[in-house]
Amino acid sequence: MRDSIAPQRPAATVVPGIGRRPAGPVVGAMEPPFLIDGAPYLTAVYAPRDRVSRKRHHIRALPCGGLATASPMPAVQDLLRRWRYPEGIATATTEGAAMDLDLRKIRYFVAVAELLHFGRAAERLHIAQPVLSRQIRALEKDLGAPLLERDSHGVTLTEAGHQLLDDSRQLLATADATRLRVRRAAGGPRRLVVGFRAGVVVTRALRAFGAAHPDVEALARRVEWDDQERLILDGTVDLAYVRRPIREQGLTLLPLFSEARVAMLPADHRLAGKPELALADLADEPRLRYADPRPGELPIRTIEEKFESVASGAGITLVPESVAEQYSRPDITYVPVPDAERDEVLLAWEASRRSPLITAFARLAPLADPARAEEP
């Protein structure tokens, strides 16, 4: 586009508010094209004839025929930062023209959508509320859809707003993860961080991976039920051994193995010492509500917190068999529950990543299966 425009120097159409003086070669263009009488035009920026002079760049509208989009030249606003356009330069996007999302505007939108209050969102973002309002309106204009409904009762999300909020969290997490991985790569040797849930032993898989990739530092980090997806999507871990239930959006999942579950009971419980139990035996027992706490209750996140809650008599819970084998306390007992749903272990990583290290580790991931513990 740059070479095709500059030599031809087509006749310029003067648009109100845009400079009239012919100038030197084309040095920039505004994307997307705009329409004049139904025909697409490109906003071209010409350099001054005299490079030594202090004359400003000049802007002209050039007919661009059947072109659907402009070339990736510098934006007009970047070339003419000293100029002030109170209302901006009006453009009319041709049908099908692409619009890049501004992550800063997306972050602003997420803050408003989560708090449903412009004032509190502005405080969280450390910006003025009028600035935030303008950015949200600009985002709505970019997307061509209303995202928020504002009235005297407050702020609510439109259907488009709900959709954008669902997509934005993953989009921002992916951007943050990319930034983290780039910084990590710039700071030292290659590294692979493997997350794992309690009970999953990753030692054999890490050793096998390290032997095959001695130039890569392989590290392990424990994840919990309430952060296993987030730590993958934000780049804290490159991949992780996770347990169901799991929010699958944005993840690639590789099923590995399943294991039986057992009841975790206080040592003095009436059912302690039984060879096994059925789910019907536990029907009237209070259960720990760690995945669905009541209002005001603190969530139970870790196996250690489960121990304390069960030992104190707050309730019972079911845990994977591997957890029972690795974690024990004299005031806790475990009883098999054969008819309980088996616990499924999967390997998960961000769906958009194409990493040879992740592919290589995925081949070795089944070594964490307790059934393979005796294999050489």
Residue 212 pLDDT > 70, yes or no?
Answer: yes
Q: Work out whether strand 217-222 and strand 191-196 pair parallel, antiparallel, or are unpaired.
A: parallel
- Lowest-pLDDT range of 85-89, 118-122, 187-191, 243-247: 85-89
Cα–Cα–Cα angle for 15, 17, 21, nearest 5°?
A: 75
CA separation, residue 327 to residues 92, 242, 252, 264 (Å)? 64, 18, 30, 11
Q: Pick the more confident residue, 127 or 8.
A: 127
- Lowest-pLDDT range of 28-32, 168-172, 285-289: 28-32
* Residue in the structure block whose two tokens are 């619009």: 99
Q: What is the pLDDT of residue 222?
A: 95
**Average pLDDT over every residue of 260-279:** 95
Q: What is the pLDDT of residue 297?
A: 73
Question: Letter for the amino acid at 268?
Answer: D
Q: What is the pLDDT of residue 103?
A: 86
pLDDT band for position 213 (cuts 50, 70, 90)? very high
Q: What is the pLDDT of residue 262?
A: 97
Cα–Cα–Cα angle for 41, 43, 47, nearest 5°?
A: 140
Q: Domain 103-171: give its CATH architecture.
A: Orthogonal Bundle (1.10)
Q: What is the pLDDT of residue 200?
A: 95
Q: Pick the more confident residue, 370 or 21.
A: 370
Q: What is the pLDDT of residue 52?
A: 45
Q: What is the pLDDT of residue 100?
A: 73
- Rg of the chain over all Cα atoms, to the nearest angstrom: 30
> Average per-residue pLDDT in the chain?
77
pLDDT band for position 171 (cuts 50, 70, 90)? confident
Enumerate the domain spans of the chain: 2-79, 103-171, 189-258+343-372, 261-336
Q: What is the pLDDT of residue 6?
A: 42
DSSP 13: B
Name the residue among 215, 245, 213, 211 with its Cα closest to residue 228. Answer: 245
Are both 103-171 and 189-258+343-372 of the same fold?
no
- pLDDT tens digits, 124-150: 888 888 889 999 998 998 888 999 998
**Average pLDDT over every residue of 56-84:** 42
Name the H helices within the chain. 2-5, 76-79, 103-115, 118-125, 129-143, 159-186, 203-212, 228-233, 303-311, 321-326, 356-364
Q: Domain 189-258+343-372: give its CATH architecture.
A: 3-Layer(aba) Sandwich (3.40)
Could you give the CA distance from residue 339 to residue 342 in angstroms, rounded to a whole number?
9
- pLDDT tens digits, 14-65: 444 444 444 444 444 444 454 555 555 555 544 454 444 444 444 444 555 4
Confirm if 357 and 195 have CB atoms less than 8 A apart.
no
Q: What is the pLDDT of residue 169?
A: 81
Class of the domain covering 261-336: alpha beta
**Average pLDDT over every residue of 265-278:** 94
- pLDDT tens digits, 290-347: 766 667 777 788 889 999 999 999 999 999 999 999 999 999 999 999 999 999 999 9
Q: What is the pLDDT of residue 373?
A: 57
Residue 254 pLDDT > 60, yes or no?
Answer: yes
3-state helix, strand, coil in the chain (%, to 5): 35, 25, 45
